[in-house]
Amino acid sequence: MDYAADAQRTDLMTITRFVLNEQSKHPESRGDFTILLSHIVLGCKFVCSAVNKGEEQKKLDVLSNEVFVKALVSSGRTCILVSEEDEEATFVEPSKRGRYCVVFDPLDGSSNIDCGVSIGTIFGIYSVKDGGEPTLDDVLQPGKNMVAAGYCMYGSSCTLVISTGSGVNGFTLDPSLGEFILTHPDIEIPKKGKIYSVNEGNAKNWDGPTAKYVEKCKFPIDGSSSKSLRYIGSMVADVHRTLLYGGIFLYPADKKSPNGKLRVLYEVFPMSFLMEQAGGQAFTGKQRALDMVPKKIHERSPIFLGSYDDVEEIKALYAAEENK
Ligand code: FDP
């Protein structure tokens, strides 16, 4: 009998146990983050179950948002919520307020729901700035100020990937236990990848550096092999693959959408945070993505994220264009 393997199989590291372990490293911590996270996990379990039942797209978007908003408010640990589904930010009433701001997309990639492609929830968490009434400035902070970020992917399995600022860990929902169990400890993105991921249907409107980069992926001039193209069109699924296998995910600016498509607060920032924590990079075409200071809650930005070396290449092309 393999006692070591058995010991690992029976010593279940649930997400709550994992976060409590992290918390014990910070004696000043009061457990608020653990409580907040358990409410996010509840939302993820609900959406996972609804997706598996095959609810219609419209209903599912609205349902997921309602579940997350209610779960977050009832945690008593939040003060401002920004959801992709709601035009305005939600300010939690004073009696239920806590010190965290949560920005989230309850169901990202929703155009894929009806054909069974993987979709997900993306979230980022800020601490409210000290003192006074919470204001929109508390969520209009650069991504590097996030205290945690993550996503939950509803696919062939339900996987929650999270970083609290010291590495990235992945948990898979065990449906028989109803618990997320640590299955992907310390995720590190390969330094260089063999895959590029972009909607090439937009190529005619790309700028020079993006067009040059994608051309190099297909026709490398340094004798290396061409990269493979993989594009699902569901950010959580495309980023999850990029994180595990390496490579680069691009949603660039183009002539029709000079700011790209993806939203800064609840798409670009959380995924950039995870990429950096896993050893990769995230770049907007102008700067490190996490240094951006958003002016509006639903602002968009171009994004290039993934393996360190692959993002270095695109950065070099943009630098060359600037120095022309
Ligand atoms: P969707 O429109 O299906 O909701 O921002 C939303 C998003 O999906 C991302 O999940 C995905 O990466 C991107 O849009 C896909 O956009 P394109 O269809 O333009 O490629």
15-40: per-residue pLDDT in tens?
A: 999 989 888 887 777 899 999 999 99
Domains in the chain, CATH or no CATH each: 9-184 (3.30.540.10), 195-323 (3.40.190.80)
Q: In degrees rounded to 5, what are phi and psi of residue 4?
A: -65, -45
Q: What is the structure's pLDDT at 57? A: 65
Percentage of the chain modeled with pLDDT above 70: 96
Ligand 1 mean position, distance from CA 109 (Å): 5
- On the question of pLDDT at 1 being above 60, the answer is no
What's the average model confidence in pLDDT over 94-105? 96
Contact status, residue 122 vs residue 104, Cβ threshold 8 Å: yes
Ligand 1 mean position, distance from CA 182 (Å): 28
The model's pTM: 0.95
**C-alpha 297: how far from its chain's center?**
16
d(CA 147, CA 22): 13
Q: What is the structure's pLDDT at 27? A: 72
Q: What is the structure's pLDDT at 171? A: 98
Ligand 1 mean position, distance from CA 106 (Å): 14
3-state class percentages of the chain: helix first, strand second, coil last, to nearest 5: 40, 25, 35
Query: What tokens does 146 get?
Result: 């996030």
Nearest CA to ligand 1 atom 1: 109
Query: What tokens does 267 get?
Result: 């798409």
Confidence of residue 4 (pLDDT cuts 50, 70, 90): low
Among 204, 251, 256, the mutation site with the greatest number of ligand 1 atoms within 8 A of its Cβ is 251
Look-up of token digits 């399995």: 157
Dmax over CA atoms of the chain, in Å, equals 66
Nearest CA to ligand 1 atom 6: 109
**C-alpha 185: how far from its chain's center?**
17
- On the question of pLDDT at 64 being above 70, the answer is yes
d(CA 144, CA 126): 10
| Pairing of the two strands 119-127 and 303-306 | unpaired
What's the average model confidence in pLDDT over 300-319? 98
Reduced to 3 states (helix: H, G, I; strand: E, B; else coil), residue 103 is strand
- On the question of pLDDT at 270 being above 90, the answer is yes
Q: What is the structure's pLDDT at 52? A: 87
- On the question of pLDDT at 9 being above 60, the answer is yes
d(CA 163, CA 151): 10
Closest CA to 233 of 109, 82, 91: 109
* Closest ligand 1 atom number to CA of residue 263: 5
**Least confidently predicted of 13-27, 226-240, 241-255:** 13-27
Can you give the C-alpha Rg of the chain in angstroms? Answer: 20
Contact status, residue 270 vs residue 149, Cβ threshold 8 Å: yes
Q: What is the structure's pLDDT at 29? A: 77
173-223: per-residue pLDDT in tens?
A: 999 999 999 999 999 999 999 999 999 999 999 999 999 999 999 999 888
136-185: per-residue pLDDT in tens?
A: 999 999 999 999 999 999 999 999 999 999 999 999 999 999 999 999 99
d(CA 324, CA 317): 11
Q: What is the structure's pLDDT at 8? A: 65
Q: For ligand 1, which residues put their CB under 6 angstroms from it?
A: 108-112, 199, 233-235, 238, 261-262, 267
- On the question of pLDDT at 130 being above 60, the answer is yes
